[in-house]
Structure 1
Amino acid sequence: MTERLRIAVIGYGTAGQAMAILLTRDGHDVEIFERVPTPGPVGAGFLLQPSGLQVLWQMGLLEAVRAHAAPVHRLYGDTPCGRAVMDMGYGGLDVRLHGLGMQRGALFSLLDQARDGAGQLHAGTTIDAVDTARGQLRDNEGRTHGPFDLVVAADGAASSLRATIAGGAGLDRVYPWGALWCLLPAGEWPHVQQLRQRYVAARKMIGLLPVGTRPGDDTPRLSFFWSLPRADFARWEDEGMQPWLQELHALWPEASARFDHLNDAGQLSRAVYRDAVMTRWHQGRMVLVGDAAHAMSPQLGQGVNMALLDALALRDALRVHGAGETALQAYQAQRRAHVAVYQRWSRWLTPLFQSDRDAWAKARDALLGPMGRLPGGRGHMLRVLSGTQHGWFGSLALDPAFLEALARPPVALATQAATAAA
């Protein structure tokens, strides 16, 4: 790095947290603006893929993450009659690879701890507008902040700031289907290293993902997911829990003991998803990262991983090119080459799992398995799953040292504490 920049980061989700950590470590003067008065995680759990895990490894956080996360080696989905629709294991790509299921609260806490107070956090401050030419911000109370050499907009899938980029939005829409979700105690759930899903055509999808523990709570948990059209959220609540619980137990009786923990509608939060494709990710001194740049359906489970990759790529572009247009162009070119294929796959796959298109679901059930057995087909599917597909034919490089670190048994929390004390 040849110059110390004054940088504003708007949003304190995964993308904003990772940006703040990486930029302050490089010596930049960072100010973070978060609209909620008490920043915290939004969502239940997610699957960290090898692509995102490699970024956390480069940040020195892999072992801290592994201490709370649950290793996931297999993704399996079937119908209530027991017909397998999807069965994919990371070992088919590399025996050292796996994902990590993690609670959003755990990752938020670990990233917040890693920031260690570096950079000034303005909580409860909503940024309404950005002067991209001057790098100046205006909040909802009319106050101005800056100017900044760079403004990083990391304000999420429903970003109000991406419209600032003139002519940048190629597509920005809300998906008609969303989800209900919550965390459940894992208890005696036997599939502790698998993401399990159950499908009824494309109209119903239930998921249970092991997501480990979080700081202050040593109870292993599962992230529960129930697919539902956004238009049906109110109807679901009005009908009450009992009819829905009866249906849930009937569709997946093997998981009934887990569902016994569901007894109140207040336990379940509602998720809404967007599909946003930007033709340009930057203008003047402002640049988009994370879901603000490329929101997509969670069908491929890549949101958190893409946010981490964005943060690292922007940090590296600033290291090479310094502030200015050249750095932002380099960042956009690198990340769009990776993100574009995932946005297309996500858009194509989502109706196969969340829609009213029964004929498409029948084709999915009949063809998805055989397609994975075609020459080259399974490798492509596994690279898409692991986040390592780059373009249509390339792959994202994984460092051999990272693969060896991932293959080793995780360091226990007690061992980490003893090492730190020594």
Structure 2
Amino acid sequence: MPTSSRRVAIAGYGTAGQACAILLARDGWSVDVFEQAPATGPVGAGFLLQPVGLQVLWEMGLLDAALAHGRRIDRLYGDTPRGRAVMDMRYGGLDARLFGLGMQRGALFAMLDHAWPGRETIRLGHRIIAVSVDGRHVRDEQGREHGPYDLVIAADGSASRLRAVVGKARLDAPYPWGALWCLLDEGDWPHVNELRQRYRAARRMIGMLPVGTRPDDPVPRVSFFWSLRADRFGRWQDEGIATWRNEVVALWPEVAPHVGTIGDCAQLARARYRDVVLRDWHRGRLVLVGDAAHAMSPQLGQGVNMALLDALALRDALRTHGHIEAALAAYQHERRRHVRIYQFWSRWLTPLFQSERDVLAGLRDLAFAPMGRLPGSRGQMLHVLSGTRLGAFGRLRLPPAFLAELGKCASLG
């Protein structure tokens, strides 16, 4: 397509929308972003960037900025209140150069926002709900029409309104379990390079993930989360913060000094999740990215990573193919091959960690750690963790130049 005709509308300014705006603007596209919120900003506390997500930031020239604020994570460890190890995985078991990066949502948002020169033109308070039959115009909730566009990208999250325009989903259902989240001061937390979790059966899961700093806040933080059935949020609030805090400390005394700073239920954000599997990710000139295309449980911690990979794959497909429809078909083919295995494992692993199925949790406690020590099984689990699993047994290969760059970061704290 001639550069002069390339005009794209992006619905949503989360990670997927931000990355698409940056990458396509750099390729000469004229980008219009529509955001339903009255102001832009991050949603959520912290997350774990896997090597595949770091690779995308490296491709975008943003790896150094991420490393400047994130906290290197080398190990994921989870145990029971009695000290029985359930999970113990180290990136070094796959490649000594690999690691994860704990980051605050605010840090990633600010970094991506700063990288897109058009951020001042975002149309706030515009929720896009419809696309014209020819795919060239979009309509917002107030009935305003915008366009014409050559491409429309739906990056409007797990509750996407534009998903239905593409077609009927194979699966679109909320998970019964959600989570409470907040950021706490890192303070003297001893496990600064590890994601630590504590489980009581599958009914309780607590996590502490070091996530570093933000550009506007130099204090290192830890992202704390507590698993909870979504239909019990109200009961949890009614019982009061003191009752809940006592339960947390009873399960994990080590976190007492940190959760002691939580004095009100309002300090904890509530998160709900969906499981979405689509027949198609595009229709005409409309394409879905991020959670709009493949929302899943956060059990494998891949949401942000998949959103970044979607944006890069879409950019590459548009570069390679001369027609929009061919580019979108190529994008869907590439990304669905990768995402499918994560949707599968996320769906089947979630009941092992977030459910009331005590028998399954008991089997998990007995078998999960020993399986992770078996040579063949350990490699498979580490590929899933790092985001490099492709299909049942394939591998998503990371560029040698990127691995060499990570190798230089061995001393990152």
The TM-score bracket by the shorter chain reads over 0.9
SS in 2 for 1:85: strand
* Cα separation, partners in 2 of 1:411 and 1:202, compared to 1, 3 Å: closer
Contact 1:176 1:229 in 2 (8 A): yes
Could you say what the CA RMSD is over the residues aligned between the two structures, in angstroms?
A: 1.4
CA distance in 1, matches of 2:2, 2:331: 18
Contact 1:90 1:98 in 2 (8 A): yes
Match of 2:226 in 1: 226
Match of 2:389 in 1: 389
Q: Does 1:83 align with 2:84?
A: yes
Deviation for aligned residue 1:375:
3.8
Q: Does 1:29 align with 2:9?
A: no
SS in 2 for 1:113: helix
- Superposed, 1:238-317 pairs within 5 Å as 238-317=238-317
Contact 1:31 1:119 in 2 (8 A): no
The one-letter amino acid paired with 1:351 is: P
Q: Which moved more, 1:244-253 or 1:365-374?
A: 365-374
Contact 2:72 2:100 in 1 (8 A): yes
CA distance in 2, matches of 1:70, 1:58: 20
Deviation for aligned residue 1:147:
1.7
Contact 1:41 1:108 in 2 (8 A): yes
CA distance in 2, matches of 1:331, 1:323: 12
Q: Which moved more, 1:19-28 or 1:366-375?
A: 366-375
CA distance in 2, matches of 1:410, 1:126: 44
Q: Structure 1 stretches of 5 or more lacking a match?
A: 413-422
Deviation for aligned residue 1:407:
2.1
Deviation for aligned residue 1:132:
4.7
SS in 1 for 2:122: strand
CA distance in 2, matches of 1:119, 1:386: 35
Match of 1:153 in 2: 154
CA distance in 1, matches of 2:252, 2:370: 25
SS in 2 for 1:227: strand
Q: Does 1:204 align with 2:204?
A: yes
Deviation for aligned residue 1:323:
3.6
Q: Does 1:106 align with 2:101?
A: no
CA distance in 2, matches of 1:386, 1:220: 24
Q: Does 1:43 align with 2:44?
A: yes
SS in 1 for 2:189: coil
Deviations 1:128-163 (A, max 9, x none): 211252321111111100121110000001111101
CA distance in 2, matches of 1:403, 1:184: 32
Match of 1:420 in 2: none
SS in 1 for 2:220: strand
The one-letter amino acid paired with 1:297 is: S
CA distance in 2, matches of 1:119, 1:145: 18
Contact 1:205 1:226 in 2 (8 A): yes
CA distance in 2, matches of 1:263, 1:237: 12
Match of 1:339 in 2: 339
* Cα separation, partners in 2 of 1:56 and 1:392, compared to 1, 3 Å: same
Contact 2:7 2:149 in 1 (8 A): yes
Deviations 1:190-216 (A, max 9, x none): 000000000000000000000000011
CA distance in 2, matches of 1:131, 1:203: 46
SS in 2 for 1:234: helix
Contact 1:32 1:119 in 2 (8 A): no
SS in 1 for 2:348: helix
Q: Which moved more, 1:349-358 or 1:394-403?
A: 394-403
SS in 1 for 2:112: helix
Contact 2:87 2:372 in 1 (8 A): no
Q: Which moved more, 1:291-300 or 1:321-330?
A: 321-330
CA distance in 1, matches of 2:411, 2:316: 29
Deviation for aligned residue 1:397:
1.0
Deviation for aligned residue 1:119:
8.3
CA distance in 1, matches of 2:226, 2:50: 22
Q: Which moved more, 1:364-373 or 1:387-396?
A: 364-373
CA distance in 1, matches of 2:87, 2:261: 27
Contact 1:206 1:225 in 2 (8 A): yes
CA distance in 2, matches of 1:156, 1:88: 30
Contact 1:3 1:322 in 2 (8 A): no
The one-letter amino acid paired with 1:287 is: V
Percentage of pairs with the same residue: 64
Match of 1:134 in 2: 135
* Cα separation, partners in 2 of 1:215 and 1:119, compared to 1, 3 Å: closer
Deviations 1:259-306 (A, max 9, x none): 111111110000000000011000011000000000000000000000
The one-letter amino acid paired with 2:400 is: P
SS in 2 for 1:64: helix
CA distance in 1, matches of 2:19, 2:407: 24
Q: Does 1:94 align with 2:95?
A: yes
Contact 1:49 1:98 in 2 (8 A): yes
CA distance in 1, matches of 2:411, 2:322: 37
SS in 1 for 2:326: helix
SS in 2 for 1:96: coil
CA distance in 2, matches of 1:250, 1:288: 44
- How many residue pairs get aligned? The number is 411
SS in 2 for 1:57: helix
